[in-house]
C-alpha cells in the first residue's frame, strides 16, 4: 500500500512513486519554470507533477498544467485541493474535491534526525522537551524530524486557505508515541477561514522503519465544515 493511502481518507486520491518518471507529455510552462534548475531538480519537479496528474485523473481532471504561483504554491484546477511532496526516495501527490475537503497537506522526510543547529529554529521549547521525553521511551523514531514534517504538512494545508505565511515557531505540534495521530495548534490570530477553524488541526503520521532507515510521512485533511460525513 502507498504510504499516504494509510494516512488519508479514501476520498483523498493519492499517487506516489519511489523512482523518477518521464512518461506522458511535457508541458511548456512547467519546463520554462524549471529550465534553469539542475537536472536532478528538473527530474523531481516533473515526477511529482506526473504523480499529481495521475491523482487528478481519478477526479476526472486530465492534462492540467501545474506551474507554481508567485508564492511557489501549486495551482490546482477549480474545485480541487491538494498537496505535493518530494524527498530522497519518494515523490507523491494527494488531491480531493473541495466540496468535501477544505485543505490537504502531505510531507515525506528521510528518517533522520534534524541537522545540528536547526532545532531551535524549527521547534518550540515545549516540542524540544517532548522530543527528549519521547526519545527516552522510543529511541527508534527521529521525533524532531517527525515534528518538523508535521509542521510542513500544516503549512501546506494552511497557506492555500489563509494566504498568509506561517513560521515554524507559530505552530505547536503534539504527537503520540506510536504511529498514529498528531495535533497542531496554530499560534496566529485570525484562523477562521470560510467557516473552517484553522486554529487547531489534526493529522496522521507513520514511520517506515527505525531511525536511519526509510521514511517518515505526515498528512492532514481538513474537512469542509458543510460537507456531509
CB 202 within 8 A of CB 181: yes
Sign, CA dihedral 28-32-35-39, equals negative
Question: Binding site annotation covers 41?
Answer: yes
DSSP-derived letter for residue 116 is T
Residue 166 is assigned to a ligand binding site: yes
Ligand-binding site membership of 184 (annotated): no
64 known member of a binding site:
no
Instruction: Decide: 166 and 158 in contact? Cβ < 8 Å.
Output: yes
SS (H, E, C) 182-214: EEEEECCCCCEECCEECCEEEEEEEECCCCCCC
Q: Is 15 labelled as part of a ligand binding site?
A: no
**Is 88 annotated for ligand binding?**
no
The binding site for Mg(2+) comprises 107-109
The binding site comprises 41, 49, 85-86, 107-109, 152, 156, 166
The binding site for CoA comprises 41, 49, 85-86, 107, 152, 156, 166
Amino acid at each position: 500500500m502507498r504510504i499516504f493511502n494509510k494516512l488519508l481518507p479514501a476520498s483523498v486520491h493519492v499517487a506516489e512513486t519511489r523512482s523518477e518518471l518521464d512518461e506522458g507529455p511535457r508541458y511548456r510552462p512547467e519546463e520554462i519554470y524549471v529550465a534553469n534548475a539542475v537536472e536532478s531538480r528538473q527530474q523531481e519537479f516533473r515526477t511529482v507533477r506526473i504523480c499529481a496528474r495521475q491523482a487528478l485523473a481519478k477526479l476526472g481532471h486530465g492534462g492540467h498544467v501545474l506551474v507554481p504561483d508567485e508564492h511557489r504554491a501549486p495551482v490546482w484546477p477549480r474545485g480541487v485541493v491538494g498537496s505535493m511532496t518530494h524527498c530522497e526516495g519518494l515523490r507523491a501527490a494527494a488531491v480531493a474535491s473541495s466540496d468535501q475537503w477544505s485543505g490537504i497537506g502531505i510531507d515525506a522526510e528521510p528518517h533522520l534526525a534534524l541537522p545540528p543547529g536547526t532545532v531551535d529554529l524549527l521547534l518550540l521549547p515545549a516540542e524540544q522537551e517532548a522530543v527528549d521525553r519521547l526519545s527516552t521511551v522510543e529511541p527508534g523514531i527521529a521525533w524532531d524530524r517527525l515534528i518538523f514534517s508535521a509542521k510542513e504538512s500544516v503549512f501546506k494545508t494552511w497557506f492555500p486557505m489563509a494566504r498568509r505565511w506561517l513560521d515554524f515557531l507559530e505552530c505547536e505540534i503534539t504527537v503520540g508515541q506510536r504511529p498514529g495521530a498528531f495535533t497542531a495548534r496554530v499560534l496566529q490570530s485570525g484562523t477562521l477561514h470560510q467557516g473552517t477553524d484553522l486554529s487547531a488541526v489534526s493529522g496522521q503520521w507513520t514511520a517506515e522503519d527505525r531511525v536511519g532507515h526509510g521514511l517518515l510521512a505526515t498528512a492532514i485533511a481538513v474537512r469542509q465544515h458543510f460537507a456531509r460525513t
